[in-house]
Amino acid sequence: LSYTDVDEDTSDIKTPLMSPQSPIAPPPTILELIVPPTNSILSSGK
């Protein structure tokens, strides 16, 4: 009973946390880093 409880808890917490956070964390970080610099260059040039 102890093994089943731990296995289910770990799988339930590792799957949703690693799945949505892994693929959704990188995209926003790269896009946000490229968006601010572009706006800064356009604003300075104008």
Question: Would you give the end-to-end CA distance of the chain in angstroms?
Answer: 68
**What is the distance between the alpha carbons of residues 1 and 9, in angstroms, rounded to a whole number?**
12
The one-digit pLDDT tens for each residue of the chain (46 residues) are 555 555 555 555 555 555 555 555 555 555 566 666 666 666 665 5
CB-facing half-sphere around the CA of 29: CA atoms within 13 A? 6
What local confidence, expressed as pLDDT, does residue 17 receive?
A: 52
Token pair recorded at residue 27: 């995209």
